[in-house]
Amino acid sequence: MEKAEKLLMGIENVLGMASELFDEIARLKQVEEECKTLKEKLFIESIYWLKKKFLNSHLMDFHLQKWQNGCSKNGAQFHNNAKTSAKN
């Protein structure tokens, strides 16, 4: 009878460890899914950040170019007005 009890206890221990392993595998799969989700979010966030940086840079270039064009026009008008005033 002792051998049968030891055998049953051994089987219970093996089943307990197997149950713990299955639980650990399930937990690791969940962690893996969370990592995939975080990677996707990070990827999307980096694309958004790069897009925003790109657009801001182009917007600044556009405004700077517009400002420079305005300065050039105003400068030309100033010189023309100065020439006209000097002639009068």
31-40 contacts at long range (C-beta below 8 A, 24 or more positions apart): none
- 48-67 pLDDT, tens digit per residue, is 888 888 877 777 776 677 77
Phi, psi (degrees; rounded to nearest 5) at 27: -65, -40
- Structure tokens belonging to residue 43: 């990827």
pLDDT of residue 29: 98
Instruction: Report d(CA 47, CA 30) in Å as an integer.
Output: 26
Q: Token pair 């595998």 is at which residue? A: 25
Q: Hey, what are 28's tokens? A: 């690791």
**Interval 27-41: pLDDT, tens:** 999 999 999 999 999
pLDDT tops 80 at residue 15 = yes
pTM greater than 0.85 (yes/no): no
pLDDT at residue 72 in the model: 66
Structure confidence at residue 24 (pLDDT)? 98
